């Protein structure tokens, strides 16, 4: 049986609060694979001021795999310092080449070590784990994968703890040239519409009550921070300002240029494109009149993949109330959490068609999900030691 269309045929849910409804989920076919990428020592890189580069490398994995077949639909999760993708077997060989090339580019362009690997759904099931999928319709232009079960977490742990088994052979060859076109990072850091923009990770540690814990947490976030649009850190077009800083554009140039001379001319080209974009948006020329609204409609700010991952904007009293709630639930033994607070967000963009398909990955500035994960792991370790 051909399972390639499995994900495409899943019915979308319209309300993020419904992600705990069992009837919405579908088990991933056993002949599919999980791809994992993970920046090694990402916390140190972020502490050294490389958080934008870490985000860029994580997104590089996703654009490279999506570009293999732009008509094929499959789930993927952006994690700030890495990515997870769940693919049909038809993409496996080309995906291995993309992952190897991504790791090579991460090292050559940014001096970052990227761990990449492939783990089969069969292997995950053999270890008594599973992955189930549904889809959340964020807007008319963007549908997002929602993943549950402990299979992705297992895959990430296997890549780290049994790397020799699940890494891709560096000598693997296949007749395919990876395509990373469409990856951009041209916006200035986006100021929070409230006091703070926070990256938030929340994970249930009570398996018997997980659905209830996540649902209660989502209800509490809705009550404290408001609805999805009210807490969205990117919701006004005047927040979006194109950057003309060559250092910001340099990340893109490093990936797509082979030497310092080609990089110089590529940055000039990007600057010219940005000037034209500003003019076209200012004077609402053609489809550019809706461009910023399209960006806002396709922001990736809230997701679920064995834990809640959210980037939200709150005022200080809302942040305090939310942290007090999460700490109470943590002390109760129901969940662990990590939060990284900033005054702005950064956005890494996947542009498949300038006035068509977009995806915009959002994280809070200066560390985002990676530093939130560090705090979550610290709390988890503390719980395990009790």
Q: What is the pLDDT of residues 90-108, one digit of tens each?
A: 999 999 999 999 999 999 9
Asked if residues 147 and 155 have their Cβ atoms less than 8 Å apart, the reply is no
Residue 45 pLDDT greater than 70, yes or no: yes
Asked if residues 340 and 332 have their Cβ atoms less than 8 Å apart, the reply is no
Q: In this structure, is residue 272 part of a structural domain?
A: no
Average pLDDT of the segment spanning 255-269: 93
Average pLDDT of the segment spanning 326-330: 97
CA distance 251 to 256: 9
Residue 226 pLDDT greater than 80, yes or no: yes
Q: In this structure, is residue 248 part of a structural domain?
A: no
Average pLDDT of the segment spanning 251-278: 94
First-to-last CA distance in the chain?
48
Average pLDDT of the segment spanning 309-321: 98
User: Given this model, what pLDDT does residue 292 score?
Assistant: 96
The two structure tokens encoding residue 127: 């270890």
DSSP letters, 5-43, are TTTTTSPEES-GGGTT-GGG-EEPPTT-EEEEEEETTHH
User: Given this model, what pLDDT does residue 356 score?
Assistant: 87
Q: In this structure, is residue 261 part of a structural domain?
A: no
The two structure tokens encoding residue 85: 């993708």
Q: By three-state DSSP, how is residue 310 classified?
A: strand
* DSSP, res 168: P
User: Given this model, what pLDDT does residue 386 score?
Assistant: 60
Q: Which domain holds residue 168?
A: 12-238+293-385
Cβ partners under 8 Å of residue 328, min gap 6: none
pTM of the model: 0.94
CA distance 322 to 233: 16
CA distance 293 to 276: 18
Asked if residues 346 and 331 have their Cβ atoms less than 8 Å apart, the reply is no
CA distance 60 to 168: 17
Average pLDDT of the segment spanning 201-223: 95
CA distance 47 to 136: 34
Q: By three-state DSSP, how is residue 282 classified?
A: helix
Residue 1 pLDDT greater than 80, yes or no: no
* DSSP, res 291: H
Mean pLDDT of the chain: 95
* Residue of 386 and 150 predicted with greater confidence: 150
CA distance 156 to 77: 12
* Residue of 62 and 353 predicted with greater confidence: 62
User: What is the tally of helices (H) and strands (E) in the chain?
Assistant: 13, 17
Q: In this structure, is residue 221 part of a structural domain?
A: yes
Q: In this structure, is residue 225 part of a structural domain?
A: yes
Q: In this structure, is residue 243 part of a structural domain?
A: no
Place of tokens 């977490």: 153
Q: In this structure, is residue 333 part of a structural domain?
A: yes
Residue 317 pLDDT greater than 90, yes or no: yes
Q: In this structure, is residue 274 part of a structural domain?
A: no
Asked if residues 184 and 349 have their Cβ atoms less than 8 Å apart, the reply is yes
Any idea what the Cα angle at residue 23 is, between residues 18 and 27, rounded to 5°?
110
In the chain, the number of structural domains is 1
Beta strand 344-351 with 33-39: parallel, antiparallel or unpaired?
unpaired
């Amino acid at each position: 049986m051909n399972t390639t269309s499995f994900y495409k045929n899943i019915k979308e849910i319209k309300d993020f609060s419904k992600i705990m409804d069992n009837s919405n989920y579908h088990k991933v076919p056993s002949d599919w694979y999980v791809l994992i990428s993970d920046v090694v020592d990402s916390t140190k890189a972020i502490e050294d001021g490389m958080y934008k580069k870490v985000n860029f490398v994580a997104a590089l994995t996703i654009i490279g795999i999506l570009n293999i077949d732009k008509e094929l639909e499959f789930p993927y999760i952006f994690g700030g310092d890495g990515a997870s993708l769940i693919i049909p077997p038809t993409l496996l060989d080309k995906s291995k080449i993309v992952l190897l090339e991504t790791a090579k580019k991460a090292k050559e362009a940014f001096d970052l070590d990227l761990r990449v690997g492939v783990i089969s759904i069969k292997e995950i099931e053999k270890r008594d784990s599973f992955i189930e999928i549904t889809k959340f319709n964020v807007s008319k232009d963007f549908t997002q994968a929602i993943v549950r079960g402990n299979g992705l977490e297992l895959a990430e742990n296997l890549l780290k703890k049994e790397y020799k088994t699940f890494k891709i052979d560096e000598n693997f060859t296949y007749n395919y040239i990876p395509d990373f076109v469409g990856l951009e990072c041209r916006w200035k850091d986006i100021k929070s519409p409230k006091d703070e923009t926070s990256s938030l990770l929340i994970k249930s540690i009570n398996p018997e009550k997980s659905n209830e814990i996540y649902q209660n947490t989502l209800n509490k976030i809705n009550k404290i921070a408001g609805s999805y649009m009210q807490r969205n850190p990117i919701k006004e077009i005047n927040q979006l300002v194109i950057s003309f800083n060559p250092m910001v554009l340099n990340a893109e140039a490093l990936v797509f240029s082979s030497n310092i001379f080609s990089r110089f001319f590529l940055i000039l080209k990007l600057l010219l494109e940005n000037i034209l974009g500003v003019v076209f948006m200012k004077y609402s020329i053609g489809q550019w009149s809706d461009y910023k609204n399209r960006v806002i409609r396709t922001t990736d700010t809230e997701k679920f993949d064995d834990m809640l991952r959210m980037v939200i904007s709150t005022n200080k009293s809302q942040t305090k109330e939310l942290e007090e709630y999460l700490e109470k639930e943590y002390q109760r033994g129901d969940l662990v959490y990590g939060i990284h607070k900033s005054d702005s967000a950064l956005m890494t963009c996947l542009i498949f068609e300038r006035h068509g398909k977009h995806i915009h990955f959002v994280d809070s500035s200066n560390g985002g999900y990676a530093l939130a994960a560090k705090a979550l792991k610290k709390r988890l370790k503390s719980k395990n030691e009790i």
